[in-house]
Structure 1
């Protein structure tokens, strides 16, 4: 199954490394994609993630390397033409690129942001939704 993974899911996995979210990221049953700016977003929140997770700088860097191998990061230029349509359907302007990528790849978004489910253009799955699907 293919999904777009958003930044909040990865931050949650980093902060609670022994949880269901972390396990789902690394299951072989999911093929994950994300926007190329996601790694920059994680870097931007590095101090907050380190403080909340107890990770060292080294452990954070190792996690970034591991997820870079697990998640296919798609350059903006590959989904740019879907941005206008995504701008119309995304309830949050900060999530427009995730919606554009989902439209390009014709797959759902994995996010726990409930307001993203208020539209009907792209299917949005919470962590709980994915757990139920994969059981």
Structure 2
């Protein structure tokens, strides 16, 4: 495994990502089909999608394992988490929707769904790039506002 990791690091993959190359977004990055900003945006999108699904208590969302040290439930903190997750995910979706209206072709949301479910088709790659560029714009706006 260490030999494989070293080969991946030499090819340009950061060391902390070299072990987990089995994900769809990492495979696209490794194959040079998306750039670094798009790759980072795909991870950002996946993270906030899971947080959003957790905030609406979607029954099919993977749950994080509970920590061994139980802390008392704080309803205010949970409400802040849910509100933040919903606002951020809606902001991402709004930015992608604006990009969709500019492009007027393809389906950016289907490309993101293909990324999430690991069923991205070759013809969706251009749409995925546009969608991830929109997510990247949202990320940079959010960083400037903070």
Work out which of the two has the higher radius of gyration on C-alpha atoms and give 1 or 2. 2
Normalising by structure 2, report the TM-score: 0.28
TM-score (ref. length: structure 1): 0.30
- The structure in which a higher percent of residues are helix is 2
Q: Larger % of strand: which?
A: 1
